[in-house]
Amino acid sequence: MLDNKTVQEIERFVSVEPRSINEISDYLKKNWRTVDRYLKEIEEEYKTISLKTFRGGTRGALKIAYFSSPERVSSTKLQEELENEIMKLKRKEDFSAFDIFQNISEKNKKAIVEDEISESSTNLKELIEILKTTKKELKLFSGNLSWINLKKGKIDLFQTLEDLIKKGVKLKVLCRVDLNGIENIKKVLSLNYKYGKELIEIRHREHPIRAFVIDNTSFRLKEIKEPTGKIKELDKKIFIFYTIKDKEWTEWLSKIFIKLFNTSIGAEKRLNELNKLIK
């Protein structure tokens, strides 16, 4: 059975350079049929590895696994325009999640608008229920992981994240790794050491999206609107949460995540340099 630890071992091995099935078999100490099945599952479900067969149909056929770098993400002009904005912009204020939401079929989307002063006062229970549905992998577009500190009564977002790691869920995070959020980064990475599992990967990247992508099957976007202070315009702070259960659009956002993730700097390298500044 393919578990998340094996997925990460394969990803790390293949990320260095493309590998043949025999090379991966030797590395994992498993037979080539098992490895072939693993690679097909990773290609289909995680989309982090791609397979290519040379001399197919001959006795000398060679199957190569290489790390995916999805150059072609968008299948429509609209998606391409949104992709370009996400790749180019750095601040959440410069991008509206509604631009994605408006293009989803009515039956596959839901929006919740909350008039609250802070995110800790919003419906955190709903977010926790969504996160709990994650079975294999959670991809996270974040600012500086400040959401992990949200609590309300018995609701604790960090504890929910920890419960997912205990179950073996893989977590990949794109966020700013800087002095402002350094303690949040360390807190999340500490779960790798606590449970002896390398399930969490964090990479530094500034981007305009705030979202959770759950198992490549659904995603949840967050948008915050501030009062403008102008007459007959928005006069209060509102939080908007968009839940999308659309296969095509979820795969699209997942590919964008992978494209950004594969070209971003690992948190460990950034932390080493940041720690020198605060000694």
My answer on whether 120 and 38 are in the same domain is no
Rounded Cα distance, 126 and 108, in Å: 17
Q: Is the dihedral of CA 7, 51, 80, 262 positive or negative?
A: positive
Residue 92, in any domain of the structure: yes
Average pLDDT of the chain is 90
Is 227 part of a structural domain of the chain? yes
Inter-helix orientation angle 77-88/247-261, to 10°: 30
On whether the CB atoms of residues 112 and 142 are closer than 8 A, the answer is no
Q: Looking at residues 243-261, what average pLDDT do you find?
A: 93
Q: Which residues 6+ apart lie within 8 Å of 45 measured at CB?
A: 136, 137, 215, 216
Centroid of chain to Cα 78: 22
Query: What CATH number did the domain enclosing 54 receive?
Result: 1.10.10.10
pLDDT one-digit tens code per residue, 203-233 = 999 999 999 999 989 999 999 998 888 888 8
- Residue 134 covered by a domain: yes
**Are 92 and 59 part of one and the same domain?**
no
Q: What is the CATH number of the domain that holds 244?
A: 3.30.870.10
Say if residue 25 is in the same domain as residue 92: no
Domain edge (last residue) among 46, 67, 88 = 67
One domain for residues 43 and 142: no
The answer to whether position 123 is within a domain reads: yes
Give a yes or no: residue 229 inside a domain: yes
Asked whether the predicted pLDDT for residue 150 surpasses 90, the reply is: yes
63 and 84 fall within a common domain: no
91 and 221 both lie in a single domain: yes
How crowded is residue 65: how many other Cβ atoms within 10 Å of its Cβ?
Answer: 26
Indicate if 136 and 171 belong to the same structural domain.
yes
Same domain, 45 and 169: no
Please check whether residues 227 and 264 belong to one and the same domain: yes
In the prediction, which pLDDT does 135 show? 93
User: Is the pLDDT confidence value at 154 over 70?
Assistant: yes
Residue 70: pLDDT above 70? no
Range(s) of the domain holding residue 52: 4-67
Could you tell me if 152 and 242 lie in one domain? yes
Q: How deeply is 188 buried, as exposed, middle or buried, from its count of CB atoms within 10 A (0-12, 13-18, 19+)? A: buried
The answer to whether residue 72 is domain-embedded is: no
Note the pTM of the prediction, 2 decimals.
0.80
- CA gap 234, 225 in Å, rounded: 8
Cα 84 to Cα 79, 89, 115, 259: the distances in Å are 9, 8, 31, 12
Strands (DSSP E) found in the chain: 19-20, 49-54, 62-67, 109-114, 137-141, 151-152, 155-156, 170-175, 200-204, 211-214, 218-225, 238-244, 265-266
Same domain, 30 and 113: no
Q: Terminus-to-terminus CA distance in the chain, angstroms?
A: 45
Let me know whether 23 and 122 are in one domain: no
Determine the pLDDT at residue 198: 85
What percentage of the chain carries pLDDT values higher than 90?
Answer: 65
Structural domain count of the chain: 2
CA torsion, ordered 89, 92, 93, 95, to nearest 10 deg:
60
